[in-house]
Structure 1
Amino acid sequence: MSITKLLNIKYPIFQGAMAQISKHQLAAAVSNAGGLGIIASGGMSVEQLRDEVRQCKAKTDKPFAVNLMLMMHNIPELIDVLIEEGVKVVTTGAGTPKPYMPIFKQHGIKVIPVVPNVSIAKKMEELGADALVCEGSEAGGHIGDISTMALVPQVTQAVKIPVLAAGGIGDGRGIAAAYALGAQGIQAGTMFLVAEECPVPDNFKQFVIAANDTATAVTGRKGGAPVRSIKNKMIETYIRLENENASRDELEALTMGSARKAAAGDMENGSIMAGQICGILTQVKPAKQIIEEAFAQAKQIAATLSNRFDF
């Protein structure tokens, strides 16, 4: 079954779950535009998640999802909220959904893990995942080691459930490429950072627009938790300390609350998590326009692609 039929959405695009950013305003706008909006629950209390879900339901009657960072201590309580509020799709990361699969299945909740390699993709399929988001290292935020171009065809070859490609996709060219690699759609975060409905200050959006192809850096590789962000004062300090073998406590002190600072508009001390594709983003647009233009471009590319093979 196609991902659009599985989830009852028009366009096969998920809006990425970005910490402190992917809230009801953005999720509802993406869902209303025909994609799958996603609320990022990481760091939320039960009350905060319930409020976000209810506000999202008030703004859209279309399907939307909640992302669960499974390393969080309050996952069972957050799942209770999803069940009580009737959320029917979850995406997962930072852990395995295995302990929770029975309750998800019992309540008809579709489970779509984000995976960084083939081995984990296979395990998620065996657990009963309904689909997968296959995320390459070009993505913003927490990343794996394998690039999207190399990862997607290997995952789509290895599993039978629908796969969405993520990482380094910012327009219709990336969507067309994802289909060529075997995916049924995409997940995108960075391109929605410049959506009108994205609940961050304008200086955050302009910071993303000003970034070029070399603007991002990966921190945390030595500690085994790599994160891609746009370079700023805090990131440069982190890299210096990391290279000096600073303690984990010192590094954690530097980054404490950094996602929240960025979402509030602090471009020097916040963590502006964005992917390597941010260099193609040039203006702020409504989420609906972002989606419709991207898929129109993808269709145009697909229609003319055969003419480019002149061998």
Structure 2
Amino acid sequence: MSICKLLGIEYPIFQGAMARIATADLAAAVSNAGGLGIIASGGMTSEQLREEIRKCKSMTEKPFAVNLMLMMENCGELVDVLIEEGVRIVTTGAGTPKRFMPAFKENGVKVIPVIPSVKLAKKMEELGADAVVAEGTEAGGHVGETTTMCLVPQVVSAVNIPVIGAGGVGDGRSIAAMYALGAQGVQVGTLFLTAEECPVPPEFKQAVLDANDTATVVTGRRSGAPVRSIKNKMLTKFIELEERNAPREEIEAIALGSLSKAVYEGDVENGSVMAGQITGMMKDIRPAKEIIESLFRSAEELVSNLKVSY
């Protein structure tokens, strides 16, 4: 079954679950445009999530999802809320959804884990996942080690459920490439940072627009929690501390609250502007509907005109 038919969406595109950014405003806009909008529950209380779900329902009648960061201590409460509120699609990250699968299946919830490796993709299929998002290291935020080009085809060959490609998707060419690699659809995060409906300050969006192809860096690899963001004053200091093996407490002190500084205060020098390697492709601010339609129009034109010479 195609991912669109499985989820009841028009375009095979997921909006990335960007923590503190992917709220009802962005999720509803993406869903109304025919994609799958996703509310990121990371950092939310159960009542905050309930409020966002209800707000999203008031803004769209189309399917939307909730993303669960499974490392969150209140994850059980969040699961209860999304089930109570009738959410039918869940994406997951930062752990295994194993303990919640019985409740999800009992309540007809489609479960789609985000995975960085073939090994985890197989495990998720064994658990009963309905699909997986194979995310390469090009993506923004928390990342794995394998590139999208290498990861997606290996995951497609390893599992029998739909695979969504993520990491490095910024235009019609990359969507066409994902299909060529065997994916049934794509997940897009960085590009939606430039959506009119994305609720981040103008300074945050401008930082994404100003970034070039080498603007992002990955920090946290030594601690086992790699994150890709746009390099700035804070991250330069972070990298210096990592390189001289500074105490963990010293490193954490400068990173504490950095995402909130960027997302809520527009402080793009001392905050964390998480974004992927496609930042150099971002040129303007557009409605989510225009972003999605132009992506697939471009992909279709490209595929129809594609000629391979030997």
Give the TM-score, by structure 1 length: 0.99
- SS at the partner of 1:133? strand
- SS at the partner of 1:193? helix
Counterpart-to-counterpart distance in 2, 1:203 and 1:64: 28
- The residue that corresponds to 1:302 in the other structure is 303
Q: 1:264-303, aligned counterparts within 5 Å?
A: 264=264, 265-303=266-304
Runs (5+) with no aligned partner, structure 2: none
Runs (5+) with no aligned partner, structure 1: none
Q: Give the length in aligned residue pairs.
A: 309
CA RMSD of aligned residues (A): 0.6
Aligned-residue offset at 1:107:
0.4
Counterpart-to-counterpart distance in 1, 2:50 and 2:183: 32
Counterpart-to-counterpart distance in 2, 1:232 and 1:40: 25
- The residue that corresponds to 2:107 in the other structure is 107
Aligned-residue offset at 1:254:
1.3
Counterpart-to-counterpart distance in 2, 1:22 and 1:96: 21
Counterpart-to-counterpart distance in 2, 1:154 and 1:108: 29
CA deviation profile, 1:42-80 (whole Å, cap 9, x unmatched): 010011101110100000000000000000000110011
Q: 1:204-283, aligned counterparts within 5 Å?
A: 204-264=204-264, 265-283=266-284
Give the TM-score, by structure 2 length: 0.99
Aligned-residue offset at 1:247:
1.6
- The residue that corresponds to 1:46 in the other structure is 46
- The residue that corresponds to 1:202 in the other structure is 202
Paired letter, 2:46:
V
- The residue that corresponds to 2:165 in the other structure is 165
Counterpart-to-counterpart distance in 2, 1:228 and 1:259: 12
- The residue that corresponds to 1:70 in the other structure is 70
- SS at the partner of 1:35? coil
Paired letter, 2:98:
K
Counterpart-to-counterpart distance in 1, 2:291 and 2:32: 13
Aligned-residue offset at 1:171:
1.0
Counterpart-to-counterpart distance in 2, 1:152 and 1:87: 28
Question: % of aligned pairs identical?
Answer: 67
Which of structure 1's runs of 4+ aligned residues deviate more than 3 A? none
Aligned-residue offset at 1:304:
1.0
CA deviation profile, 1:85-125 (whole Å, cap 9, x unmatched): 10000000000000110000000000000000000000000
CA deviation profile, 1:181-227 (whole Å, cap 9, x unmatched): 00000001000000000001111111100000000000001111100
Aligned-residue offset at 1:253:
1.6
Paired letter, 1:45:
T
Aligned-residue offset at 1:258:
1.1
